Amino acid sequence: MKKKLPNRWILVTGLSGAGKSKALKVLEDQGFFAIDNLPVALLPSLIALLKKSKKLFPNVVLGMDAREEDFPSSYRKILSRLQSAGFKP
């Protein structure tokens, strides 16, 4: 029986070969909706799309590449956007 996890969003980052994809697969097996390699620029669009969706996505894991040019400077903004949209990262 799968253990029920609380509703939340998890952000998984790392460099190539660090196990990011494996972590996403494990969380996906635990009932998370996994989105891998999401560019920082698409995060606002993803949030808007999921908020409009009639389907609930209570457990989401985002895989984002820490090497992306905008990622280091946008990390706090990413968390803030998720929180202000009502998600619990």
Of the ranges 23-27, 32-36, 41-45, which is most confident?
A: 23-27
Query: Per residue in 52-80, pLDDT tens?
Result: 776 776 788 888 887 877 777 777 887 78
Tell me the H-state helices in the chain: 20-29, 43-52, 71-84
2 within some domain: no
- Could you tell me if residue 13 is inside a domain? yes
25-30 contacts, C-beta under 8 A, 24 or more apart: 27/61, 28/61, 30/2, 30/3, 30/5
What's residue 54's pLDDT?
A: 67
Starting at the edge strand found earlier in the chain, the sheet holding 33-36 runs 8-14, 59-65, 33-36
Q: Work out how many domains the chain is built from and give that number.
A: 1
Domain that holds residue 60: 8-84
Give the model confidence (pLDDT) of 4-30 as tens digits. Answer: 544 678 888 887 788 888 999 999 999
Per the domain annotation, does 65 fall within a domain? yes
- Determine, yes or no, domain membership for 33: yes
Do β-strands 59-65 and 33-36 pair in parallel, antiparallel, or remain unpaired? Answer: parallel
